[in-house]
């Protein structure tokens, strides 16, 4: 049955849209109307410019070693027919993922995650992962969202009302549509509910193999945005949409196994937290500041990481403590896991997961120690022994670019290229004069 399904997907991929993930987690792609996409590992040509664009399609100078930033050729793209998913809003055609191969594989986000997972596999470990994403729906179209100032955008619901059953029942048709949409596109959910904040919804994707989980997360973000537009709505996964509310998270649930056994679980250890889990979490905390830019990749990301909003402000951990950067969730052998809470909804899923697992593997390799778990609010600096997270994108980028461990885990070419892209992102926003600045300074100064 599985082979028949693969053949069907390969056949349909001849008339598919092929999508590849850029540094910002945006799917870039094109229609492929030939046999080029019908075979596993088939290589097609695709513009290398997508690895040199920012989110507004401006070229990042010297983004990956180009001497002339205006000159870009074709790169090799490996099509992945097994990832093909039927898209109901796309005339029942398929969307199929691809990844950069050849000379560009070392800076391909999916390739970077595969590199990290190979490192874990070489030591006998495999990871099971589930992503959670919060996103905001606005009763706006792609046209009205650009005509109106932000403070006139109309969210799907008014005011904060997290976990509201009344709102869920009132929005039953919408929720049923989201559930059906995810089922039809092989993006199974384990939870769906209103979060606190106007128009904010949280979706929990069902856990699975780590690479497949990241593929699903990339699909989910892109498909939700396109699905919303077909219904006259706009969806955003910005980390912080408004200063008046909490940010939007992209939490990652991780468990790790060896020989079919959950290595995070030890029935003889205190709270069943194994020595391997101690090392893994220890590594995540030890390298969280150095690798932070992978989980907080935009200027806007750092406006979410504030005290009082269940977002981390330092590399902390705790048992079922949502104020911490790493939340250990106790359970039986199958449910015992951690939740990596640093990442926001704006992440590139491949890179955020590479960050979470790569730092954890360093902890295992180095037998990292683990501080006492935080009890109470981890953002309360009076009681926190931890150094604060980087305060902005520029600081996080510098730490990443200068980290020898980042080069060890992710590769020197990727660290250089991604750091350049984040410096560009910082400068692009810093040079803009905002409405907030005009309102604050125009008359007074």
Per-10-residue mean pLDDT of the chain, 445 residues long, equals 42 70 95 62 87 90 60 88 84 87 95 98 98 96 88 88 89 93 93 93 97 98 94 95 90 97 96 97 98 97 91 95 96 95 98 98 96 89 76 98 98 96 94 83 82
How far apart are the C-alpha atoms of 313 and 115, rounded to whole Å?
29
Q: What is the third-level CATH fold of 116-406? A: Creatine Kinase; Chain A, domain 2 (3.30.590)
Same fold, 2-107 and 116-406: no
pLDDT for 71 equals 65
pLDDT for 7 equals 39
pLDDT for 435 equals 82
How far apart are the C-alpha atoms of 192 and 235, rounded to whole Å?
15
How far apart are the C-alpha atoms of 425 and 234, rounded to whole Å?
24
Phi, psi of 37 (to 5 degrees): -105, 10
Q: What is the third-level CATH fold of 2-107? A: Ubiquitin-like (UB roll) (3.10.20)
Nearest to 50 by CA among 34, 27, 66, 67: 27
Residues 394, 24, 351: CA angle, nearest 5 degrees: 85
Nearest to 304 by CA among 349, 343, 332, 251: 343
How far apart are the C-alpha atoms of 308 and 245, rounded to whole Å?
11
Sequence ranges of the domains in the chain: 2-107, 116-406
pLDDT for 8 equals 42
H or E element at residue 60: none
DSSP string, 95-160: EEEEEE-GGGGGG-HHHHHHHHHHHHHHTT-EEEEEEEEEEEEES--TTHHHHS-GGG--BSS-S-
β-bridge partners, 256 = 127
269 in Cβ contact with 330 (< 8 Å): no
CB hemisphere CA count around 132 (13 angstroms): 22
292 in Cβ contact with 342 (< 8 Å): yes
349 in Cβ contact with 340 (< 8 Å): no
pLDDT for 333 equals 92
How far apart are the C-alpha atoms of 120 and 413, rounded to whole Å?
21
How far apart are the C-alpha atoms of 56 and 400, rounded to whole Å?
24
How far apart are the C-alpha atoms of 174 and 169, rounded to whole Å?
10
pLDDT for 276 equals 98
pLDDT for 368 equals 96
Cα–Cα separations (whole angstroms), residue 81 to 17, 32, 40, 353: 11, 12, 6, 22
CB hemisphere CA count around 437 (13 angstroms): 5
How far apart are the C-alpha atoms of 101 and 96, rounded to whole Å?
16
Name the region of 83 (left: φ>0; alpha: ψ -120 to 50; beta: rest).
alpha
């Amino acid at each position: 049955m599985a082979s028949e399904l693969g053949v069907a997907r390969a056949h349909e991929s001849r008339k598919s849209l092929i999508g590849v993930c850029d540094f910002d987690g945006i799917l870039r792609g094109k229609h492929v109307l030939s046999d080029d996409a019908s075979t596993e590992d088939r290589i097609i040509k695709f513009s290398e410019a997508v690895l040199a664009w920012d989110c507004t399609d401006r070229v990042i100078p010297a983004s990956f070693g180009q001497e002339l930033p205006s000159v870009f050729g074709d790169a090799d793209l490996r099509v992945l027919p097994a990832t093909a998913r039927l898209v109901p809003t796309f005339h029942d055609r398929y969307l199929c993922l691809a990844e950069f191969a050849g000379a560009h594989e070392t800076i391909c986000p999916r390739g970077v995650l595969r590199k990290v997972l190979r490192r874990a596999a070489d030591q006998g470990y495999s990871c099971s992962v589930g992503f959670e994403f919060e996103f905001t729906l606005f009763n706006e179209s792609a046209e009205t969202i650009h005509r109106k100032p932000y403070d006139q955008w109309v969210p799907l619901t008014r005011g904060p009302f997290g976990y509201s059953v009344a709102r869920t029942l009132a929005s039953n048709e919408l929720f049923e549509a989201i559930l059906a949409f995810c089922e039809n596109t092989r993006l199974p959910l384990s939870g769906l509910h209103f979060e606190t904040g106007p128009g904010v919804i949280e979706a929990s994707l069902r856990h699975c193999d780590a690479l497949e989980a990241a593929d699903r997360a990339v699909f989910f973000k892109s498909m939700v945005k396109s699905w919303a537009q077909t219904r006259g709505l706009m969806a955003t996964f910005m980390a912080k949409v408004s200063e008046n509310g909490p940010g939007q998270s992209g939490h990652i649930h991780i468990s790790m196994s060896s020989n079919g056994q959950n290595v995070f679980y030890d029935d003889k250890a205190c709270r069943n937290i194994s020595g391997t889990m101690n090392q893994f979490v220890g590594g995540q905390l030890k390298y969280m500041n150095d690798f932070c830019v992978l989980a907080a990749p935009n200027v806007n990301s750092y406006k979410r990481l504030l005290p009082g909003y269940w977002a981390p402000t330092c590399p902390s951990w705790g048992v079922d403590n949502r104020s911490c950067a790493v939340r250990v969730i106790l359970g039986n052998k199958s449910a015992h896991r951690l939740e990596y809470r640093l990442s926001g909804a704006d992440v590139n899923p491949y890179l955020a997961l590479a960050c979470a697992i790569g730092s954890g593997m360093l902890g295992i390799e180095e037998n990292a120690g683990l501080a006492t778990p935080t009890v109470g609010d981890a953002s309360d600096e009076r009681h926190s022994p931890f150094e604060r997270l980087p305060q902005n994108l520029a600081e996080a980028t510098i730490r990443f670019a200068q980290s020898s461990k980042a080069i060890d885990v992710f590769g020197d070419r990727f660290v250089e290229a991604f750091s350049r892209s984040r410096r560009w992102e910082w400068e692009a926003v810093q040079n803009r004069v905002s409405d907030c600045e005009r309102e604050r300074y125009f008359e007074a100064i």
